[in-house]
Structure 1
Amino acid sequence: MGRRGHKPQQGSGNRVRLWGRHAVTAALANPERTVRKMWGTREALAALDLPAEMTVVFADVADLGRMVPGDAPHQGLVIEADPLEDVWLGDLLAQGAGDRRPLLVLDQVTDPHNVGAILRSAAAFDALGIVTQDRHAPPESGALARAASGALETMPWVRVVNLARALEEIAEAGFWRIGLTGHATRTLAEAIGGQRVALVLGAEGEGMRQNTEAHCDELAKLPISGKVESLNVSNAAAIALYAAVSGAA
């Protein structure tokens, strides 16, 4: 199972357009990423060590602003690149065999800013990777890459056709699947034991679908105050990752 079928946005043909200093420099540093063309201000480009074969076009701030959506902060740099290659779930699980890094599973989290922020948190807490559905997750895009602040290039992201089947494969690899939901009776800290953990989070508002919950070994909640109903999914993911890493230490 991989991440086939997603379509990059805002690029030429099948290419994806990325912008902003962190997203661009991370893409340039990623040996798995093929950058086809770069636009930038002279000042921003002067700070980069670019390969001689790179196609570079000097542009002013106004020109770059027309290449990105709305008021996107491009910081003087825009690139077009090929999408990243598929990451396969079986390969990721085999790669992580024997370690205790947590895995994140997202059930129909579609907002690119949330998924980008989750990628960033996953990188910060050294997660094994994230798993999403292919059709109900955002594609690679400039907005997602900027929210990820470089983590799009470093954090393995598996897209699967069938999330329930993927959760079964994750269980077979030895992970304890904990679904985060406010109606659980136990807290996440109580649910985390000595085994490898896969944290399953649903979309903000709707939460996990019933079939996704049915494929978790246990449901757990974050011990938040009654003053708020719930947390943004990216905030919840960051807290859950910290709890998982702390529990494994």
Structure 2
Amino acid sequence: MNQKPERKTSGRSAETACGIHAVSALLSARPQDIYKLWVVSDKRNARVDELVSQARDLGLVIAETDRQRLDRLGGELRHQGIIAEASPAPVRNEQDLAAATSNLDQPFYLILDGVEDPHNLGACLRVADGAGVHGVIVPRDHASPVTPLVRRVAAGAAESVPVYRVGNLARAIQQLQKQGVWVIGASDKAGQSLYQTDLRGPLALVLGAEQKGLRKRTEALCDALVSLPMAGQVSSLNVSVAAGISLYEAVRQRQGETT
């Protein structure tokens, strides 16, 4: 017999966070938004028990259930015995981006132009968190939203890194430039290497989707284009790998390192 899908708590709009890292980040960042914590009732991981204790101290609703029900709640996501249901995270837009930028001395952003794969977005968020960026900027259309899968892959970074979903990416780039942010795009057409480029100061690095690259309009708006040197046979890198290389070269320069 087919199982009925699980009903969201009290009919409220909800998002799910699956797995230890995602739930831990949600408990730390937005505990007030959590409706219910679902946990497996038997053979629990010690780290799950720690999160249950934390949730109990916060007065959250905790429901113990079997693994089959957690499997249904999590869908295809690996839940590790714990799932949180919460109200959706606040959506940040162009106005929020402009306000945040005005309050930063050295803005440091990652812009993703048309990255539709949730695995790639999640991996980029994780890299961005490690590099200490102030936000990841994505277009509202033709790009992955922050889904439960993105949260799972991001391993907590979806809560720690602000994501700005903008209606018009070109306009958002132009606004950043008006606020003194240098916008540098990664393109295999560029003659200048990433490693020959000054990445200090207010900066937004722009990466396109794998194989597609930057859209022409986005490319034309960049203050400079740089390439990532490729010494082997492949012609391109996964966008999250390219993000890691680019962001950490910027971090190296911004920390004043020379080696």
| TM-score, reference length from structure 2 | 0.86
| 2:19–2:83 contact (8 Å) kept in structure 1 | yes
SS of match in other structure, 2:217: helix
| 1:20–1:146 contact (8 Å) kept in structure 2 | yes
CA 1:201 to 1:33, structure 2 compared with 1: closer, same or farther past 3 Å? Answer: farther
Q: Return the offset for 1:47.
A: 2.3
CA 1:78 to 1:31, structure 2 compared with 1: closer, same or farther past 3 Å? Answer: closer
Q: Provide structure 1 residue ranges, at least 5 long, that are not aligned to the other structure.
A: 1-9
Residues in 1 aligned to 2:219 and 2:192: alpha-carbon distance in whole angstroms: 15
| 1:33–1:83 contact (8 Å) kept in structure 2 | no
- Map Cα deviations across residues 65-115 of structure 1 (whole Å, 9 max, x no partner): 121223x2100001111111122111221232x12x521011111111111
Equivalent residue number for residue 37 of structure 1: 36
Residues in 1 aligned to 2:31 and 2:40: alpha-carbon distance in whole angstroms: 26
Whether 2:100 is the aligned partner of 1:95: answer no
| 1:179–1:199 contact (8 Å) kept in structure 2 | yes
Whether 2:45 is the aligned partner of 1:46: answer no
CA 1:210 to 1:77, structure 2 compared with 1: closer, same or farther past 3 Å? Answer: same
CA 1:13 to 1:137, structure 2 compared with 1: closer, same or farther past 3 Å? Answer: farther
Equivalent residue number for residue 146 of structure 1: 152
1:68-147 to 2 correspondences below 5 Å? 68-70=74-76, 72-87=77-92, 88-96=96-104, 98-99=105-106, 101-147=107-153
After the TM superposition, which parts of structure 1 deviate over 6 Å for at least 4 consecutive aligned residues?
none
Tell me how many residue pairs correspond in the alignment: 237
Q: Return the offset for 1:215.
A: 0.8
Q: Alignment RMSD, CA only? A: 1.8
The structure whose residues are more often helix, as a share, is 2
Equivalent residue number for residue 25 of structure 1: 24
| TM-score, reference length from structure 1 | 0.89
Whether 2:244 is the aligned partner of 1:238: answer yes
Q: Provide structure 2 residue ranges, at least 5 long, that are not aligned to the other structure.
A: 1-6
2:176 pairs, out of 145, 170, 186, with 170
| 2:200–2:250 contact (8 Å) kept in structure 1 | no
Equivalent residue number for residue 63 of structure 1: 69
